[in-house]
Amino acid sequence: MIRLNSDTPSEVLQDVKIGSMVTDTFSKTGLVETIEISDDGLYRVYEFNLVTGRTIIVKK
């Protein structure tokens, strides 16, 4: 299981694949259904949408 938060190295965030088991260490845990990576000019924003319908967002 991969822990996703602001302390997670960028290399690990890039290596997350669809189907990976992830957690945000609080209440969101599940398999990754889709991944969206965007850049808002200040941060890279990683959105991991889980099969449970929840979303984990990490700004790095």
SS (H, E, C) 12-48: HHHHCCCCCEEECCCCCEEEEEEEEEEECCCCEEEEE
pTM comes to 0.91
* Residues 6 or more apart in contact with residue 31 via CB below 8 angstroms: 19, 20, 21, 22, 50, 51
pLDDT at 24: 95
Rounded to whole angstroms, the Cα distance separating 18 from 57 reads 15
pLDDT at 38: 97
> How would residue 48 be classed by pLDDT, with cut points 50, 70 and 90?
very high
> How would residue 57 be classed by pLDDT, with cut points 50, 70 and 90?
very high
pLDDT at 19: 97
Share of the chain above pLDDT 70, in %: 100
pLDDT at 17: 97
